Amino acid sequence: MLKRVRILAILAAAAIPLALSITPAHAADTLDPIYFQNQWNDKCADLPNYGAPAVDAPVTQYTCNTTTSDNQIWYMQPTRVVNGFQLYRFQLYKGGQCMDLPNYGSDSAGTHVEVHACASNPAADNQEWYLSYVSNAALGGQSYLGSGYEVINYQDGFCLDVSGWAGNFSDGANNLPLTVYPCYDSTWGNNGYDDHVWDLDAVYLP
């Protein structure tokens, strides 16, 4: 049976500010597999079907099934520290491909997230991400999961997003694609954070 532990307990404490800076010392604690659970709609980052995905397969959301029978488990791998921020890449447990955006530079808002072969030099691709802590208070106490993280692509500064909107609940269905999108707007639902806040839970495999 899989053992699951909230990685928030590893990466955050109540006093950590919104703009999270993760040190290399913390990064050493994040080598175990994780899954992404959306704070707003309770769904998990997923690859369609159950086997190893094809190159450029889309990352979607689906009802959480964080066992080795599905492909919702990722390795969180520290790459480098830039301007005080620890960067990571996320490598899929099944198939070994990395969470990726098309091409190599910054991408426009709404670009679909996919998986691709992990770059030998992460700095030359757009497979690097960093985390920004969001407290439950900032979310207006609306998230039953508590506090969470924005997962931000380093190349374009956009957040990992679910297609659709929290404000009208159009983002809750299975198989919706994950995209990148601006992180915050005070007019959006979920206290302006839309569906851009994620819970990162460690999964210790047997």
User: What tens digit of pLDDT does each residue of 131-189 get?
Assistant: 999 998 999 877 666 789 999 999 999 999 999 999 999 999 999 999 999 999 999 99
The pairs formed by 115-124 with CB atoms below 8 angstroms and a separation of 24 or more are: 115/47, 115/53, 115/55, 115/56, 115/57, 115/59, 116/55, 116/56, 117/55, 118/89, 118/91, 122/79, 122/80, 122/87, 122/89, 123/79, 123/80
195 contacts 41 by C-beta, under 8 angstroms: yes
The rounded distance, in Å, linking the Cα atoms of 71 and 150 is: 21
pLDDT at 43 over 50: yes
Determine the average pLDDT of the residues in 29-51.
Answer: 86
pTM (two decimals): 0.85
Domains (range + CATH), the chain: 3-204 (2.80.10.50)
- SS3 call for 13: coil
Average pLDDT, the chain: 84
pLDDT at 101 over 90: yes
- SS3 call for 27: helix
- Give the number of other Cβ atoms within 10 Å of residue 156's Cβ: 17
